[in-house]
Structure formats: structure tokens, C-alpha cells
Amino acid sequence: MQRVPAQLLDLSSESIVSTAGGATITSWNLAATALYGWQPGEALGRSLAQLVGEYPPEALESVIARGLWEGHIERRRRDRSTCTVRVRLARAEDDEWMEVSSVVEAAHPAEVALAASEYRYRNLFGAVAASFWELDFSGVGAMLRQLREQGVTDLPGHLRANPALVRAMMRASRIVDTNDRSIEMFGPGTKRDLIATPLDQYWPESSTREFTESILSAIGGRSRHVAETRMRARDGREFDALFTVSFLPGTVGNGTLLVGFTDISDRVQATRQLGEASTRRKMLMDVPTIALSELAAPDVRGVFQRLREAGVTDLHAYIDAHPDFVDKVVASLRFTAVNDATVRLFGARSAEDLIGRPLTGIVQPGCEVMRRSIEGSFARELVFQSEIRMFRLDGTPVDTLFCRVSNPDPNSAEVLVAQIDISEQVRAREEIDRMRQEAAHASRIALLGQLAASIVHEISQPVTAIAMHAAAAERLAKAPVPPVEKLSKITGQIGQNALRVGEIIQRIRSLAANREIPMVQLSIADIVAETRMLLRQELTEKGVQVTVIRDAVLPDICGDRIQLQQVLANLMVNAIQAMDSAPRRDRRITMALRASDDLVSVEVADTGPGLSAAFHAEPFQTFRTTKPDGLGIGLTICRSIAEAHGGRLEVRDRVPGPGAAFTLVLPAAGSER
């Protein structure tokens, strides 16, 4: 059989592999590479059985007897995964066997890969005609792991100081696939020629630094890396390119990376000659709905350079030691260009009121958002976005969505800032918080209503004692010789009972008050003890035994004491009411205080009948209640309070049952949760 040229086989979208008698691989097209992972140069001359798996006995028998076989086979891939392929196998006269195979899926693998690539590239390049590469980056990941095992802790410094190592990482990366634009940009040659060329041949020595920074972006967990660089075609021609890498979750060091190149040679030349970049920025300034401004800080670039030369790598720690650094940088930032939307945003009469003006007074001193933006600039992050509160020229505050885009040119001292006025959205959030606070207040008042009888009983005891002691004191005082010692003891007891009444009233007033929420450091054990004290009479009357178990070490939490008491009181009251039908001897509440992974939890478990399937389906459904006088908002309010504290409220059946268990989970004070 006349051998088909490899270039023709590459035109097929299906895997085509030929072997000598079904054993040694003699041809391997690009679709086979896409399906199994091995490049043609790696597959040719190897045993097909050892590479991807053997043919089943029935296939061998059919090919030997009839020259044909068709069926499904389980195959191995380069990444050690397996796939089921549909194989059509034929034998020629010269005993050369040829198979055509495709994976058994609803869509062809090439179509699946193309759809995924189009989705990923769309976010990176939009409609720009660009060269797309898929790189196998696993070799770089292995080298990085080896460096860590060798004790290298400063990977950025190590890689920047060892360009030869970075060139080796280039050679460890393989091109898996490219598009037609890549052939035009990096040719001459075919797609097979481009893939077979080692990666470092496309990168001039002068561009090693940009490749190094892309690796550091991957190590730093950034989602993408964008830079201008010089690239080399296969014929030695060099050109300017915009180099973009997308680091999808789970791909760095373990799979393929998406890389794009846009030829910007014409743009770079035009920019140098005609100042095209300034023209484009002026056009951007005409956008009417977004406040766009250019800020310049020529001194900051020099400050950053001196800090790097002094060995400063962690600007966050440096600012902690020099807290006035942020305000100094803000004072050096000055408007150089603004559009009409920026003039309106800051209440200026015209652009002249802003141009040349520093941000001092517009940004509050020690602004945390500006600090994070400055730290991002020092780390060469091109884009930063956050909400920020600034001040108009008349001093009134304005909340904006703030986006800072740095110039990719390290020699540029200009940044572009885009802002959108979100004052109305911020006010709406504040109104929602206020309504949530009022709902919590209503829930507390409802809780007090449920506890009214117990509160009256608890107050009546010390009041009755005061009356009895007062009557006794009156009788003793009328005696011919009043017993001073007894009178002193009785008046002391009157004072103690009065203090007890005052404490009870203070607890009730605190629970009923509607006030701002102070977030302070608290002991969860103290809050549990105070809540038990609040419900002491209710627990006694219902015959409920409370057991508290706790870890030896419980970190403090940060929150509002009264709201957290409200949550625990609601959970305990629900537990008490759930056990109304249980014998008094079986009415038990277990409160477990635990600490784990920067979290503190309080579980309230009862011995009631447990939770229904409908409750499990929607445990926090509003206005659902089984109580005649219930509002149906208690648990909803409890969950809102938990979430406002950065925590959550969990619901489950008690184990062992029967019964229910509700767990309040909160972050420990000082944790980053």
C-alpha cells in the first residue's frame, strides 16, 4: 500500500494510526495527538499495545481472516486517564494495519475542545485576531516542586536570578495545539512544524524576563498575565507581541495553559512615532457614563524602585511599619486628565478644577482601599477593583466602584481610573441592614412576650422578699430597744434583693433595646452562661436539665452580645417547647461549645420528637410556625444574625435521636474568615 503523506493525514479530524502488522507504529496524525496526548515524534516506532493498549482477540482474528474489524476499545492516554474509542481497523496487502478511531461521546473530542477553547479565549481576546496556543505546562510544575523540595523559599528571586533555569522551563513546556493564525504569525511551516519546534526557540533571550514573570503570576495565584514582549518566528524574524496567559483553576503544573499572542508591531511603531496611545486615551475620556480619569505620580515610580533595591518585597509589612506611606503616595497622585462624568462625580465646575489637583481631601487619610491598590501596583498587578468612599470638592461623601488600571510600560508613571457612582446601592444596603436590625428587634420583643410569665415570676421572688424584710424591719424598729444588729442584717438583705431586681430589669432592657450593633471581642462561654441565667425560671418550671460541655480552650469571638444572646435564647426556647410532650425526667438540653479551624461553635441539642421532612427541606422558611402565637421568623432572624457575624446556622437531627440539634458557627476573633 502506498504510504499517505503525514500532511494529508493531519487534515483528518479523526485519529489515524498505522502499524506494521498491528505492532510498531509507523504513522500518527495530529488528531491522534489530540486524542491520546503523545506527539508524533514520541509515538513513531513504539509498540501500539504498550502505548495505548492491545487489540482484543476478536479484532485480531477478524483482521487476519477478513482484513476488517470495527468495535469499541478501552484505551490509555498520556495523562494516564482512559477513554473508550470506536475503532475501524483494516489490513493492507503489505501487512500494514491502519485504524481510524474517535472517542465515544455525544460530541467529537475536537468539537468539545474547540468549544472549551472558544469559551476560554473569548474572555481573553474577544474578537481580536490572535495566535492561540495550548501549552502542556506539567513539566514546569514538576520543576517548581523540585525547587521547593530543595529548600528554595524565595521562588521569585531565584527565578529572576537564574534565567538559564527559566530557559530550561521553556524547553520543558510542550505545544499541544495551535490555530491557523499561529502559522501566519510564527511560520513559515505547517502546524506540525510549529508544534514540533521547541518552545524556547520562539522566545529571544531578551524576552526571558517576560516568561519569568508569567511563571511568577501562576505561582502567585493570579487568574491571568498580560505583558508586551518580543517573539521570534521560525525563520528568525522578531516582532512585538501582546503576550496573554490564562491560568484556569487547577491547571498550573497539572495540565494545559491557554496562551495568546497578538502581533502589535504596527501599533508599537505607530505609538513611538505618532503618540497613538495618548490619542486612544483621549477617546476613552469621551465615554459619558463612566467617570474616567488619568492620574500621574512620577515620584512613586522612583520610590518603588528604591524600595526594591533596598530588598523590600512585602509592601504590606513595610506600610505597617511606616503608616504615613499611603497618605504620602495619595498626596503625590494628581489628576492629569478627566472626562465630564468625573467632573460631575466630584461636583467640580469644570475639568480645570480637578486637573493638577492631588487626591488629598478626596481620599480619607489612611484609606484601606488605596493601600491595597498601592500594594497591587508595587506587585505589578495591572488591575485593581474595589468599592471606596471618596469626598466631593464640597466635602460630601460619594461611594464608587473604583477600578485602577496601570500602564503595562514599567517606565510609565500614569494610571487610568474608572469609577461608577454606587451611592444609591450603598444606601439600599444600609436600609436593608436597618430593616434586618428592626426585624431582629421585633423578634426579641416576641421572645420577651413568650417569657413574660417567667420574667414576672423571677422578679416577684426578690420583690416579695423585700416586702417581707421591710415588714420585719418595721416591727423591730418599733421595739423599746431596737436590735441594731438584726436591723442591719435585714436592710442588707433588702439591698441584695433590690440589686437582683435591678439585674433582671437590666437584662430585659438590653434584650428589648433597639440600638446600633457594637462588634466587640466576647467570650462565647460567658454568653452561654448569661443566656442560661435569662432562661433560668423557664427551665426550672418546665423541668429541663441543661448540660454544658466545652473544649478546654475556646478562643474569643467578635460580635454583639445581645444579638448572640437572642440567637441562643431562641434556640433554647424552641428546644424547651419541643419537649413539652416528653416526660419531665427526659427533658434535656445539651449545649456543646467547640473550637476548630479558626471557628467557634455552640450546638443546642434537645430530646424532643425531632424535625419533620418538610422542615428539613426548608428549615428557614419565613412565617412558618407550629405555635399558636408564633410569628414564624425566629429561625430566619437567627440565621440573619449569624450571617451578619460572618458565621452560619446549621440544622440537623440529634445523634443519637430522637431530637433536634441547631449549631451556631462563628469565626474566632482575629481570624481571616
> Is residue 569 one of the residues assigned to a domain?
yes
**565-590 pLDDT per residue, tens:** 878 888 988 898 889 888 888 899 99
Is pLDDT at 286 greater than 80 in this prediction? Answer: no
582 lies in the same domain as 621: yes
> Is residue 115 one of the residues assigned to a domain?
no
> Is residue 595 one of the residues assigned to a domain?
yes
> Is residue 111 one of the residues assigned to a domain?
no
The angle that helices 423-450 and 484-512 make with each other, rounded to 10 degrees, is: 140
* Residue 179, H or E segment: none
Other residues' Cβ atoms within 10 Å of the Cβ of residue 178: 19
72 lies in the same domain as 142: no
Task: List the domain range (segments joined by +) for residue 27.
Answer: 6-106
> Is residue 112 one of the residues assigned to a domain?
no
CA 235 – CA 237 distance, rounded (Å): 6
CATH number of the domain that 593 lies in? 3.30.565.10
Task: Provide the percentage of residues in the chain whose pLDDT is more than 90.
Answer: 27
Is pLDDT at 250 greater than 80 in this prediction? Answer: no
Of 269, 293, 328, which residue is a domain's last? 269
Confidence band for 47, pLDDT divided at 50, 70 and 90: very high
Is pLDDT at 295 greater than 70 in this prediction? Answer: yes
97 lies in the same domain as 171: no
Of 212, 245, 269, which residue is a domain's last? 269
> Is residue 200 one of the residues assigned to a domain?
yes
478 lies in the same domain as 407: no
CA 52 – CA 37 distance, rounded (Å): 10
Stretch 653-671: mean pLDDT: 88
DSSP class per residue in 195-220 = HHS-GGGGS-GGGHHHHHHHHHHHHT
**552-568 pLDDT per residue, tens:** 999 999 988 877 887 88
**344-394 pLDDT per residue, tens:** 999 999 989 999 999 999 999 989 999 999 998 888 888 888 899 999 999
> Is residue 338 one of the residues assigned to a domain?
yes
582 lies in the same domain as 620: yes
578 lies in the same domain as 653: yes
Rg (alpha carbons) of the chain, rounded to whole number: 37
Burial 556-575 (b: 16+ CB within 10 A, else e): bbbbbebbbbbbbbbbbbbb
Is pLDDT at 510 greater than 80 in this prediction? Answer: no
Confidence band for 513, pLDDT divided at 50, 70 and 90: low
CA distances to 290, 363, 387, 393 from 419, rounded to whole Å, are 6, 14, 9, 16
Stretch 14-36: mean pLDDT: 89
285 lies in the same domain as 414: yes
Is pLDDT at 108 greater than 90 in this prediction? Answer: no
Of 269, 294, 327, which residue is a domain's last? 269
Name the domain count of the chain. Answer: 5
Is pLDDT at 300 greater than 80 in this prediction? Answer: yes
Is pLDDT at 629 greater than 50 in this prediction? Answer: no
Is pLDDT at 434 greater than 80 in this prediction? Answer: no
> Is residue 114 one of the residues assigned to a domain?
no
**391-406 pLDDT per residue, tens:** 999 999 999 989 888 8
Confidence band for 628, pLDDT divided at 50, 70 and 90: very low
299 lies in the same domain as 239: no
- Residue in 638, 633, 658 with CA at minimum distance from that of residue 650: 638
456 lies in the same domain as 352: no
49 lies in the same domain as 181: no
443 lies in the same domain as 346: no
Is pLDDT at 600 greater than 70 in this prediction? Answer: yes
550 lies in the same domain as 483: no
CATH number of the domain that 40 lies in? 3.30.450.20
